[in-house]
């Protein structure tokens, strides 16, 4: 006996030590990865990449409020200069004239490589006459004022060709030389972090650097600048804040529920030894769970640990059953193992069936949760069954709970008369569900987002001020190298242009606007005439125009330079607004290059606000780029969520089926099966109806919660079933059920108060559901709760 | 009798005597908008002879002004608030005025005069009025260095609330004159 004692305890200690090592060495994340699919399709992969690494994932939108306009402008300039100097930021834009001038300089210097109008025709006598004639006509127009100074160098108007494309998009208003919001009360800037959006630590450093830079700018700008406030939004803020929220929430919730459960157990047991022993299965379970997830997934998500608080609530039940039910005298130890353990074991197996269905979810957060719970429950149950009896001191006593049990038994005999009410409530619940059937489910991923509404509103507002692209519709090109990507982009742009003329598209962006492929640049360079040829052609071309060739010497000089000029590269554009635009649309991936062409849906007309996918696909195949993808990011993320939801529904049903099969096989009686399941189903129905009435739309996390009601509640139902089949429910058993239920409600109920929608959804479902499951199991149990004393 | 005559004379003389920059601005502000034909002639040093253009102006106070050029080449220019849109057939261009100080100088002078917004005009220009209510000339002299780098003087000429011509004298000596002839009663 003592050797067997030693073996069980030794195995337990060894396993605990192994788990500790694994847990110690685990990677912990708290980013958005829990929300992203495990095995994505090509389009989903893109969505994920965009979310994690795309240019938008590195974009910070910054606002300065308070003080006065001049002060905000000074702060904007000062802040921009500081960020530019910081290694944390790749680029900063605040609309200053200097940046605009730099963009224009690049465009003007490279106009003969950039202008799509350049070809041999343009420099023939006729072509020159036409182009220069147009420019002179333009001088008559108000636009002429902008080009007059350039005419001698650019008589064919290439700059106009380029400017027409630069100013096409919306850009912020300007006041005191910097960008401001439409109402002028906020100076605005855009900054791109150096680090990838997936590197949350680096994003956090960048945000700290930004806040410090602002504080420093405010300190130097002086006068009244003290009132100015910094507003920041963008994906980096979201990921950093999400991580911080998850961390603090998980700590807060775990502390509160652990404290609650410890206090409850102290009151119940009245024994510190019992408390410590009772918590051993829980701690072992939590360690085993984290270790299992770490081994199975290569990392542990913060949300999984957050969910651990609920595991505390469930795993502690086993030790409660053990202590309370075997409380009479030490020999009762064996009796518990014989009389009660089979019921507890069946309860554990039922719970495992529920959690196992989560394992197969494509939603990584859920799969981790499933594995965590399975490993945790198994470990907790095993420690209760095999280790606790050996650790239990000989003179072990907890407070006598039989008085509580007797009161419960009397009360139970009274409430069984309410069985009609349960059916009535279940009927009403079904009616409510039917009436709310159209708005029962939430169909968007947005409500799972951990960002508070205020943060989303600020994001919207800054995005609107900046005219930042929403990048909903994208044509995506994947190519082996940059040149191939750019050439494909040029072909696709040529195929899309007619769609703009037809009004199918309001417009589109392409990286080739500022960075044409080398092939195009070479072709344009090759189309430029020699100085002598050009001079010879200018005389006849200008014959009927009011411009004499000798005034166009600067034009000859510039053409001569352009012929020999090195090609424009991504490096040439570095640091300019143009470079930022190109970097956002063209980047290198582990395998090859990616180019994006954001499309703009028409603002009005028959197809306002949307783009017809077949039309675009047709244009893509016309361009010989059938492997390019057209992606509607909003539709794609909604589809992703809908897939998750459908999958979760299927998995939950499979889990439910597994539970039914398990119970059916063990109980071997349809009546007993129904007795166990009926109260659980009634509890589920009532919870759904209550949530619907409260206006809460069900997400897939609520669904998981419903499955957990069945998994957890089955423990209670099984004890009542056991009572009816020969054993009678001893007052001790009733007391243990009530205490176990209380810990479950504490564990899950706390989650209902979480700011994280994922945890809230599970808490608000399982907390009330567990109480109802116990109550309904008692009411529907048939009232054979023999009170042995009275 | 003499005093009545004096009074009459005074009454007649009063509007003339009270007519000043403020009165002109009030007159202009009362303009209801409408259509007008214009001819614009630009004298540019680079070119051997002036370039002319003509077409129609459509003004809807206070924020919208459309200039439809017919010759030498159709072009439409719409000024709506801060947005200047130019459509030259193949080329469409939208300019945010706040980003184009050159364009803004012109637009502010034009908009300020058309709407009779003296305060707006005085922010960027020194105003000098001469002539009478029936035939007035208003000089705008930029006091902002950035504007002065482009334009030395802008002169509006007109009668009562009708602007009849606008002359721009640019810093490099180039100049333009636009004459305006209303097509509808105001």
DSSP for A156-192 reads T-HHHHHHHHHTTS---EEETTEEE-TTSSEEEEEEE
Chain A residues inside the 8 Å CB shell of B150: 145
Chain B, window 147-176: residues with a beta carbon less than 8 angstroms from a chain A beta carbon: 150, 174
Structure tokens at A37: 């699919």
pTM of the entire predicted model: 0.69
- pLDDT tens, residue by residue, B20-53: 888 888 888 887 788 889 998 888 888 888 888 8
Output the pLDDT for position A83. Answer: 92
Whether residue B1 lies inside any domain: the answer is: no
Contact B174 A167 (CB under 8 A): no
**What structural domains does chain A harbor?**
2-30+238-449+637-779 (1.20.1640.10), 59-233+518-561 (no CATH)
Distance CA A407, CA A389 (A): 29
Determine phi and psi for B165, rounding to 5 degrees.
Answer: -155, 155
For A235, how many CA atoms within 13 A lie in the half-sphere containing its CB?
22
Residue in A148, A161, A167 nearest the CB of B44: A148
Yes or no: say if A788 and A403 are a contact pair by the CB < 8 Å rule: no
Q: Is A152 on the interface with B (CB under 8 A)?
A: yes
Alpha helices for A270-298 (secondary structure H): 272-297
Determine phi and psi for A324, rounding to 5 degrees.
Answer: -70, -40
Q: Is B7 on the interface with A (CB under 8 A)?
A: no
Other C-beta atoms lying within 10 Å of the C-beta of residue A212 = 12
Chain A, window 67-126: residues with a beta carbon less than 8 angstroms from a chain B beta carbon: 95, 100
Strand partners of residue A175? A178
Output the pLDDT for position A786. Answer: 45
Q: Helix, strand, coil shares of chain A as percentages rounded to 5? A: 70, 10, 25
Shortest distance between the Cα of A625 and any Cα of chain B, in A, equals 27
How much is the mean pLDDT over chain B? 79
Report how far apart, in Å, the C-alpha atoms of A396 and of each of A284, A388, A390, A707 are: 22, 12, 12, 37
Shortest distance between the Cα of B180 and any Cα of chain A, in A, equals 16
Output the pLDDT for position A411. Answer: 84
Whether residue B31 lies inside any domain: the answer is: yes
Shortest distance between the Cα of A137 and any Cα of chain B, in A, equals 7
Chain B residues inside the 8 Å CB shell of A148: 44, 46, 174
Whether residue B100 lies inside any domain: the answer is: yes
Yes or no: say if A27 and A300 are a contact pair by the CB < 8 Å rule: yes
Shortest distance between the Cα of B185 and any Cα of chain A, in A, equals 27
Question: Structural domain of residue B29, as residue ranges?
Answer: 21-182
Distance CA A666, CA A659 (A): 11
Output the pLDDT for position A298. Answer: 85
Radius of gyration, CA atoms only, chain B: 18
Residue of A nearest to B151 (CA): A145
Give the max Cα distance, chain A: 123
Yes or no: say if A277 and A389 are a contact pair by the CB < 8 Å rule: no
Output the pLDDT for position A633. Answer: 77
Whether residue B9 lies inside any domain: the answer is: no
Residues in chain A with pLDDT values less than 70? 1-5, 31-42, 44, 47, 50-51, 141-143, 145-146, 164-171, 222-226, 308-309, 311-312, 327-333, 443-451, 467-471, 605-607, 726-729, 782-790
Q: Report the phi/psi class of residue A62: left, alpha or beta, with left for phi > 0 and alpha for psi in -120 to 50.
A: beta
Chain A residues inside the 8 Å CB shell of B53: 140-141
Residue in B73, B99, B106 nearest the CB of A142: B106
Contact A171 B91 (CB under 8 A): no
Angle, CA of A494, A495 and A501, to the nearest 5° = 90
Output the pLDDT for position A437. Answer: 84
Output the pLDDT for position A167. Answer: 42
Q: Is A146 on the interface with B (CB under 8 A)?
A: yes
Contact A140 B96 (CB under 8 A): no
Report the candidate in B165, B145, B146, B147 with the shortest Cα–Cα distance to residue B155.
B165
User: Does the pLDDT at position B14 exceed 70?
Assistant: no
Contact A152 B46 (CB under 8 A): yes
Chain B residues inside the 8 Å CB shell of A100: 99
Shortest distance between the Cα of A497 and any Cα of chain B, in A, equals 13
Contact B86 A142 (CB under 8 A): yes
Output the pLDDT for position A487. Answer: 93
Whether residue B27 lies inside any domain: the answer is: yes
Mean of pLDDT values over B170-180: 87
Question: pLDDT grade, residue B5 (50/70/90)?
Answer: low
Output the pLDDT for position A35. Answer: 63
Bond from prior residue into B62 cis (ω within 30 degrees of 0)? yes
Bond from prior residue into A704 cis (ω within 30 degrees of 0)? no
Chain A residues inside the 8 Å CB shell of B77: 141-142
Q: Is B102 on the interface with A (CB under 8 A)?
A: yes
Output the pLDDT for position A195. Answer: 86
Contact A173 B174 (CB under 8 A): no
Output the pLDDT for position B77. Answer: 85
Shortest distance between the Cα of B80 and any Cα of chain A, in A, equals 14
Go through chain A and tell me how many residues it has.
Answer: 790
Q: Is A550 on the interface with B (CB under 8 A)?
A: no
A interface mutation test: which of B43, B51, B123 has the most A CBs within 10 A? B51
Shortest distance between the Cα of B95 and any Cα of chain A, in A, equals 6
Q: What's the structural domain count of chain B?
A: 1
Contact B51 A546 (CB under 8 A): yes
Whether residue B12 lies inside any domain: the answer is: no
Shortest distance between the Cα of B48 and any Cα of chain A, in A, equals 5
List, as own/partner pairs, every contact residues A465-470 make where C-beta atoms lie below 8 angstroms and the sequence separation is at least 24, other chains included: A465/A61, A465/A63, A465/A172, A465/A179, A465/A180, A465/A181, A465/A182, A465/A186, A465/A188, A466/A61, A466/A172, A466/A179, A466/A188, A466/A190, A467/A169, A467/A170, A467/A171, A467/A172, A468/A59, A468/A61, A468/A190, A469/A509, A469/A598
Give the max Cα distance, chain B: 73
B interface mutation test: which of A140, A160, A168, A171 has the most B CBs within 10 A? A140
CB burial of residue B52 (10 Å; 0-12, 13-18, 19+): middle
User: Does the pLDDT at position B7 exceed 60?
Assistant: no
Yes or no: say if A59 and A71 are a contact pair by the CB < 8 Å rule: no
Contact A546 B100 (CB under 8 A): no
Distance CA A436, CA A431 (A): 9
**Residues in Cβ contact with B92 at an 8 Å cutoff, skipping those fewer than 6 apart:** A164, A168, B85, B86
Contact A137 B73 (CB under 8 A): yes
* CATH number of domain containing B154: 2.50.20.10
Output the pLDDT for position A783. Answer: 54
State CA A297 to chain mean position distance. Answer: 18
Other C-beta atoms lying within 10 Å of the C-beta of residue A733 = 25
Output the pLDDT for position A323. Answer: 84
Contact B103 A142 (CB under 8 A): yes
Chain B residues inside the 8 Å CB shell of A153: none
- Interface A-B, measured as beta-carbon pairs within 8 A, has a size of 78
- pLDDT tens, residue by residue, B83-126: 778 787 766 667 667 666 666 767 778 888 888 888 888 888 88
Q: Is A681 on the interface with B (CB under 8 A)?
A: no
Local structure of B59: helix, strand or coil: strand
β pairing state of A28-29 and B162-170: unpaired
Distance CA A412, CA A410 (A): 5
Chain B residues inside the 8 Å CB shell of A163: 93
Contact A146 B96 (CB under 8 A): no
Contact A141 B88 (CB under 8 A): yes
Whether residue B132 lies inside any domain: the answer is: yes
CB burial of residue A453 (10 Å; 0-12, 13-18, 19+): exposed
Output the pLDDT for position A168. Answer: 44
- Dihedral sign, Cα of residue A73, residue A74, residue A75, residue A79: positive
């Amino acid at each position: 006996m003592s050797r067997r004692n030693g073996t069980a305890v030794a195995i337990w200690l060894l396993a605990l030590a192994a788990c500790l090592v694994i847990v110690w060495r685990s990677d912990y994340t708290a980013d958005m990865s829990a929300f992203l699919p495990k095995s994505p399709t090509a389009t989903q992969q893109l969505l994920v990449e965009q979310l994690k690494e795309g240019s938008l994932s590195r974009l910070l939108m910054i606002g300065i409020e308070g003080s006065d306009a001049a002060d905000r402008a000074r702060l904007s300039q000062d802040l921009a200069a500081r960020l530019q100097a910081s290694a944390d930021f790749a680029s900063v834009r605040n609309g200053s004239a200097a940046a605009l001038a730099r963009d224009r300089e690049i465009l003007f210097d490279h106009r003969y490589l950039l202008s799509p109008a350049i070809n041999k025709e343009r420099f023939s006598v006729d072509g020159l006459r036409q182009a220069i004639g147009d420019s002179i006509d333009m001088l008559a127009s108000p636009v002429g004022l902008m080009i007059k100074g350039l005419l001698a160098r650019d008589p064919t108007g290439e700059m106009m060709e380029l400017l027409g494309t630069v100013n096409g998009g919306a850009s912020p208003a300007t006041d005191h030389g910097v960008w401001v919001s439409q109402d002028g009360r906020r100076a605005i800037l855009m900054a791109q972090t150096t680090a990838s959006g997936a590197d949350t630590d680096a994003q956090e450093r960048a945000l700290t650097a930004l806040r410090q830079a602002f504080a420093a700018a405010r300190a130097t700008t002086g006068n009244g600048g003290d009132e100015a406030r910094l507003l920041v939004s963008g994906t980096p803020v979201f990921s950093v804040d999400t991580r911080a929220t998850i961390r603090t929430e998980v700590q807060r919730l775990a502390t509160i529920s652990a404290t609650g459960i410890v206090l409850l157990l102290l009151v119940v047991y009245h024994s510190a030894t019992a408390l410590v022993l009772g918590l051993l299965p829980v701690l072992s379970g939590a360690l085993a769970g984290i270790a299992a997830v770490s081994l199975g997934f290569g990392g542990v998500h913060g949300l999984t640990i957050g969910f651990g608080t609920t595991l505390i609530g469930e795993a502690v039940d086993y030790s409660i059953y053990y202590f309370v039910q075997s409380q009479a005298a030490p020999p009762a130890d064996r009796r518990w193992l014989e009389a009660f353990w089979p019921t507890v074991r069946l309860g554990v197996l039922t719970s495992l069936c529920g959690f196992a269905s989560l394992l197969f979810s494509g939603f990584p957060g859920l799969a981790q949760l499933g594995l965590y719970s399975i490993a945790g429950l198994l470990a907790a149950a095993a420690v209760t069954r095999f280790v606790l009896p050996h650790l239990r001191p000989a003179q072990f006593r907890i407070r006598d709970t039989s008085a509580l049990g007797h009161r419960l038994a009397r009360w139970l005999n009274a409430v069984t008369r309410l069985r009609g009410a349960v059916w009535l409530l279940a009927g009403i619940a079904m009616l409510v569900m039917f009436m709310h059937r159209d708005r029962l489910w939430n169909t968007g991923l947005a409500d799972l987002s951990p960002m508070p509404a205020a943060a989303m509103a600020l994001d919207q507002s800054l995005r609107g001020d900046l005219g930042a692209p929403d990048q909903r519709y994208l044509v995506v090109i994947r190519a082996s190298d940059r040149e191939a990507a750019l050439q494909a982009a040029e072909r696709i742009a040529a195929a899309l242009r007619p769609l703009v003329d037809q009004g199918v598209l309001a417009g589109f962006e392409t990286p080739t606007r500022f960075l044409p492929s080398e092939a195009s640049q070479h072709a344009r360079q090759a189309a430029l005439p020699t100085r002598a040829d050009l001079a010879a052609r200018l005389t006849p071309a200008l014959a009927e125009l009011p411009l004499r060739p000798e005034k166009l010497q600067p034009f000859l000089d510039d053409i001569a330079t352009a012929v020999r000029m090195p090609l424009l590269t991504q490096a040439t554009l570095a640091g300019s607004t143009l470079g930022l635009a190109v970097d956002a649309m063209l980047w290198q991936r582990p395998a090859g290059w990616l180019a994006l062409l954001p499309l703009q849906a028409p603002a009005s007309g028959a197809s306002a606000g949307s783009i017809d996918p077949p039309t675009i696909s047709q244009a893509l195949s016309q361009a010989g780029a059938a492997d390019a993808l057209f992606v509607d990011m909003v539709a794609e993320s909604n589809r992703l969520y809908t897939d998750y939801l459908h999958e979760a529904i299927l998995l939950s049903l499979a889990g439910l089926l597994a539970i039914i099969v398990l119970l059916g096989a063990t109980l071997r009686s349809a009546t007993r099966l129904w007795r166990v399941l009926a109260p659980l189903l009634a509890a589920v129905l009532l919870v759904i109806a209550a949530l619907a009435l409260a206006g809460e739309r069900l997400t897939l996390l609520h669904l998981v919660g419903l499955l957990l009601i069945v998994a957890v509640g089955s423990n209670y139902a099984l004890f009542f079933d056991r009572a009816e089949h020969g054993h009678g429910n001893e007052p001790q058993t009733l007391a243990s059920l009530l205490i176990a239920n209380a810990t479950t409600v504490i564990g899950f109920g706390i989650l209902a108060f979480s700011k994280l929608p994922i945890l809230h959804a599970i808490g608000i479902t399982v907390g009330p559901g567990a109480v109802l499951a116990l109550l309904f199991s008692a009411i529907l149990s048939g009232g054979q709760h023999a009170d042995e004393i009275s | 009798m003499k005093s009545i005559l004096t009074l009459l004379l005074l009454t007649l003389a009063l509007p003339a005597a009270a007519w000043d920059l403020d009165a002109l601005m009030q007159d202009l502000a009362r303009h209801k908008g409408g259509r007008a034909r214009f001819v614009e002639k630009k004298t540019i040093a680079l070119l051997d002879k002036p370039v002319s253009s003509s077409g129609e102006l459509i003004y809807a106070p206070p924020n919208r002004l459309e200039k439809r050029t017919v010759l030498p080449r159709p072009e439409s220019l719409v000024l709506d608030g801060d947005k200047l849109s130019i459509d030259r057939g193949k080329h469409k261009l939208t300019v945010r005025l706040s980003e184009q100080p050159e364009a803004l100088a012109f637009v502010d002078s034009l908009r300020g005069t058309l709407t009779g917004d003296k305060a707006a005009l005085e922010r960027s220009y020194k105003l000098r009025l001469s002539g009478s209510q029936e035939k007035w000339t208003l000089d705008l002299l930029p006091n902002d260095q950035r504007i002065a780098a482009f334009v030395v003087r802008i002169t509006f000429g007109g009668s009562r609330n009708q602007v009849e011509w606008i002359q721009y004298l640019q810093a490099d000596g180039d100049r333009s004159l636009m004459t305006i002839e209303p097509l509808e009663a105001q």
